[in-house]
C-alpha cells in the first residue's frame, strides 16, 4: 500500500512547489520519547548554545528562506523577510523569557531548611503550525520548548510543509538531533492522532477556533496534558474623535489588509462613531483603492499578495455576497481578477443595518464597518463577539483609552496603533474563542515548563512536641 503524499503549490502561480510523504505518527512519537531523557539532562547552557547556533544557521540562509516563505504563502518578499528576522530574534527573547519566567528560586526557611522553586520540562511536545506565518509562529513554540528541555514534534500546516522542512533543517544543522526536533508531514488526521497520542505530553496549537475547540474537546478528560491554544479573532478597531484622519486611515488599512488580512490579529470590524464616520470611511476607501496586490516578487513591491488558496478566495467571495444579501452596503467591492488564482482585492462593507451580524473570523482582506453613536456604544459593539484577541482604539483622550482598556475583552489592547504587529517581547494571546488564557510570545516559557516546589535540608531533622505520650523506654535521671 503506497503512503499518501502532501503536495504544496504556490498561491501566486499555481505551480507545484513541494511534495512529500505523510509521516508515521506512532514511530515519530516513539522516537521523540526515547530522545527526551538525554535532551532534558543536558545543561541549560548547552541547550541555549544550540538554539543560538540555530539562529546563526537561519541568518546564513535568510535570503533563500525568505524567498521560500514568499513562494509558499504568497506574501510579499518584504514581509517574508520580516518573518525570517522574527525567527532569529525569537532566540534571544526566549532565553530572556526563560530566565525571567522560570528562573530558580531559593528561599531561606530558617530551621526548616531551604524552600526551592525549580522548573521541569513536560516531555514530548507537539507543535501544530499555521500557514500564515509558517516559520515565525511555530518557531515561537519550538524554541522555548527546546530551551526548557522538551523534545518537539512539529506538524506544519499541510499548506506550507516546505517552510516547515526548511525551518527544521536549520535546527538540525545547528547540532540539535533530528530525534529532538522532528518534522511530521500530514493533514488533519495526523494532527488529530498526535493530539490524542498517549505518549504526547503537550499540544501547542496555532490556528482556527474550530480546530482549537476540537483539540480542547478531545483533551477535556486528560488534565495531565498541557494545551496552549492560539486561535483567531473577530477583532475590533474603534474610531472616536480625532483630527488625524489620514493617520487613522493608515492604521485601519494596516490592521485590516496586511498579509491579505490573513493574521489572527487583523481588524475584522471597523467601529466608527457617527461624528467621524464620513471622513474615516472615505479616507480608508481611498487608501484601499490604492493598495497594490500582486505576486510576491512583483515590481513595484505589492502591499499584499494572494490569500493561501482558491478555496479561501472562494469562501471570502461567498462571505461578501452573504453580507451584501443580508443588509450589508458595499463601500468597496471584493474583486477576483483571475478565477484560477486566489488574488482578491481589499473589500469594505457597512453592516450596520444587519439585524444579525455573523460573529465569525473571515480570514482575508474583508473589513466590516459598524456605525455607532458614541464611544460607549462603540465599546459595547467591540465586545459583541465570542472572540477576544486584539482590539484598538483610534483617537480620544487618555481618559477615553483608560475606559476602553478597562472595558474591552481582549488579550491585546492598543491605542492609536494597529491591531496587528504585536511585539514578541510581550505576551501574546486571547480569551474566549481566541485562546485558553495561555499567552505565547514572551510568556511561552510558562507552558513549556512546570514549577516544582521543594523543601530541602542537608540532614534529616525533626521533633514532635505535641500530642505524644511519654516514652517509657527512657530511663529516669
pLDDT-derived band of residue 1, with 50, 70 and 90 as boundaries? low
Q: Contact 129/206 with Cβ under 8 angstroms? A: yes
Is domain 235-422 given the CATH code 3.30.360.10 in the classification?
Answer: no
What is the C-alpha separation between 205 and 228, in angstroms, rounded? 6
Q: Report the candidate in 62, 54, 64 with the shortest Cα–Cα distance to residue 177.
A: 54
Examine the residue annotation and report whether 67 is marked as an active-site residue of this protein. Answer: no
Q: Please list, in sequence order, all residues whose beta carbon lies within 8 angstroms of the beta carbon of residue 396, skipping any fewer than 6 positions away.
A: 240, 241, 242, 375, 404, 415
- Which of 10, 190, 264, 361 does the annotation list as catalytic? 264
Q: In the structure grid, which three cell numbers stand for residue 444, read together? A: 511561552
Q: How far is the CA of 3 from the CAs of 20, 157, 185, 186, in angstroms?
A: 10, 18, 12, 11
Q: In the structure grid, which three cell numbers stand for residue 137, read together? A: 509562529
At 265-300, the pLDDT tens digits run 999 999 999 999 999 999 999 999 999 999 999 999
At 335-369, the pLDDT tens digits run 999 999 999 999 999 999 998 999 999 999 999 99
Burial class (CB in 10 A: 0-12, 13-18, 19+), 456: exposed
CATH architecture of 5-231+435-456: 3-Layer(aba) Sandwich (3.40)
Q: Report the candidate in 76, 5, 108, 9 with the shortest Cα–Cα distance to residue 340.
A: 9
Asked if residue 371 has pLDDT above 80, the reply is yes
Residue 408 C-beta-side C-alpha neighbours within 13 Å: 30
Would the pTM count as exceeding 0.85?
A: yes
pLDDT of residue 321: 98
What is the C-alpha separation between 96 and 128, in angstroms, rounded? 24
Examine the residue annotation and report whether 230 is marked as an active-site residue of this protein. Answer: yes
Q: Cα dihedral angle (179, 185, 188, 189), rounded to 10 degrees?
A: -70
Q: Contact 408/387 with Cβ under 8 angstroms? A: no
At 461-473, the pLDDT tens digits run 888 889 988 877 7
pLDDT-derived band of residue 474, with 50, 70 and 90 as boundaries? low
Q: Report the candidate in 108, 150, 153, 155 with the shortest Cα–Cα distance to residue 129.
A: 155
What is the C-alpha separation between 217 and 386, in angstroms, rounded? 17
Q: Report the candidate in 429, 411, 424 with the shortest Cα–Cα distance to residue 140.
A: 424
Burial class (CB in 10 A: 0-12, 13-18, 19+), 257: buried
Q: How far is the CA of 356 from the CAs of 39, 318, 326, 372, 373, in angstroms?
A: 53, 17, 9, 16, 19
- Which of 83, 158, 190, 230 does the annotation list as catalytic? 230
Please give the mean pLDDT across all residues of the chain: 95
What residue spans define the domains of the chain? 5-231+435-456, 235-422
Asked if residue 475 has pLDDT above 80, the reply is no
pLDDT-derived band of residue 261, with 50, 70 and 90 as boundaries? very high
Q: Contact 447/148 with Cβ under 8 angstroms? A: no
pLDDT of residue 111: 64
Q: Please list, in sequence order, all residues whose beta carbon lies within 8 angstroms of the beta carbon of residue 342, skipping any fewer than 6 positions away.
A: 11, 74, 306, 307, 308, 309, 310, 312, 313
Amino acid at each position: 500500500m503506497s503512503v499518501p503524499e502532501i503536495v504544496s503549490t504556490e498561491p501566486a502561480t499555481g505551480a507545484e512547489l513541494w511534495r512529500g510523504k505523510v509521516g508515521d505518527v506512532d514511530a515519530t512519537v516513539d522516537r521523540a520519547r526515547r530522545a527526551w531523557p538525554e535532551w532534558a539532562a543536558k545543561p541549560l547552557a548547552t541547550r541555549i548554545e544550540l538554539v543560538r547556533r540555530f539562529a546563526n544557521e537561519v541568518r546564513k540562509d535568510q535570503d533563500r528562506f525568505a524567498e521560500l516563505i514568499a513562494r509558499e504563502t504568497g506574501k510579499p518578499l518584504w514581509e517574508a523577510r520580516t518573518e525570517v528576522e522574527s525567527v532569529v530574534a525569537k532566540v534571544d527573547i526566549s532565553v530572556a523569557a526563560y530566565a525571567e519566567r522560570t528562573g530558580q528560586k531559593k528561599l531561606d526557611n530558617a530551621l526548616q531548611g531551604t524552600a526551592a522553586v525549580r522548573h521541569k520540562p513536560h516531555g514530548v511536545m507537539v507543535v501544530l503550525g499555521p500557514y500564515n506565518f509558517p516559520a515565525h509562529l511555530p518557531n515561537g513554540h519550538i524554541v522555548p520548548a527546546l530551551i526548557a528541555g522538551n523534545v518537539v514534534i512539529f506538524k506544519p500546516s499541510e499548506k506550507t510543509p516546505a517552510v516547515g522542512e526548511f525551518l527544521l533543517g536549520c535546527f538540525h544543522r545547528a547540532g540539535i538531533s533530528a530525534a529532538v526536533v522532528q518534522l511530521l508531514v500530514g493533514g488533519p488526521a495526523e494532527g488529530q492522532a498526535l493530539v490524542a497520542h498517549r505518549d504526547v505530553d503537550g499540544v501547542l496549537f496555532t490556528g482556527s477556533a474550530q480546530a482549537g475547540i476540537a483539540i480542547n474537546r478531545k483533551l477535556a478528560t486528560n488534565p495531565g496534558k498541557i494545551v496552549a491554544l492560539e486561535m483567531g479573532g473577530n477583532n475590533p478597531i474603534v474610531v472616536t474623535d480625532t483630527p488625524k484622519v489620514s493617520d487613522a486611515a493608515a492604521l485601519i488599512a494596516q490592521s485590516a489588509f496586511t498579509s491579505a488580512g490573513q493574521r489572527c490579529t487583523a481588524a475584522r470590524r471597523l467601529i466608527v462613531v457617527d461624528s467621524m464616520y464620513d471622513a474615516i470611511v472615505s479616507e480608508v476607501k481611498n487608501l484601499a483603492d490604492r493598495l497594490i496586490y500582486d505576486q510576491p516578487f512583483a515590481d513595484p513591491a505589492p502591499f499584499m499578495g494572494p490569500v493561501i488558496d482558491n478555496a479561501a478566495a472562494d469562501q471570502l467571495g461567498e462571505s461578501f455576497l452573504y453580507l451584501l444579501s443580508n443588509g450589508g452596503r458595499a463601500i468597496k467591492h471584493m474583486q477576483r481578477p483571475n478565477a484560477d488564482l486566489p488574488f482578491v482585492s481589499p473589500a469594505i462593507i457597512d453592516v450596520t443595518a444587519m439585524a444579525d451580524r455573523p460573529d465569525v473570523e473571515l480570514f482575508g482582506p474583508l473589513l466590516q464597518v459598524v456605525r455607532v453613536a458614541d464611544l460607549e456604544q462603540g465599546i459595547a459593539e467591540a465586545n459583541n463577539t465570542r472572540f477576544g484577541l486584539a482590539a484598538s482604539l483610534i483617537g480620544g483622550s487618555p481618559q477615553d483609552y483608560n475606559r476602553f482598556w478597562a472595558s474591552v475583552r481582549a488579550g491585546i489592547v492598543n491605542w492609536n496603533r494597529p491591531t496587528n504587529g504585536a511585539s514578541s517581547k510581550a505576551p501574546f494571546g486571547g480569551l474566549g474563542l481566541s485562546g485558553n488564557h495561555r499567552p505565547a510570545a514572551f510568556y511561552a516559557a510558562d507552558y513549556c515548563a512546570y514549577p516544582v516546589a521543594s523543601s530541602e535540608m542537608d540532614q534529616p531533622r525533626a521533633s514532635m512536641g505535641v500530642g505524644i505520650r511519654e516514652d517509657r523506654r527512657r530511663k529516669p535521671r
